[in-house]
Amino acid sequence: MKDLYQVLEQKKTEIERVRREIEALHFVIPLLAENADWVENGLALPGSHSRETGIATAKGWQRREHQPPH
């Protein structure tokens, strides 16, 4: 039988690996999305304004209503 602390540490390591993978996916999604994907999901098109004005959270970029350029 495995030591419970060893199993717990292994699970913690696996959870951290999955978190890093999810973070990487959140990073590449905007790079892979087509313009139609952006429009379909109500997001501002890439290049229409800086993504740095968006709000990144653990769940990814928050949805913003379309705002005309300044």
Domain ranges of the chain: 4-61
> Could you report the per-residue pLDDT of 33-51, keeping only the tens digit for each?
777 777 677 766 666 544 4
Average pLDDT, the chain: 75
Task: Considering only residues 9 and 61, tell me which one the structure prediction assigns the higher pLDDT.
Answer: 9
- List the one residue out of 63, 58, 61, 62 whose CA is nearest residue 18: 58
Q: What are phi and psi of 46, to 5 degrees?
A: -60, 140
Q: What is the pLDDT of residue 63?
A: 57
d(CA 47, CA 28) in angstroms, rounded, equals 16
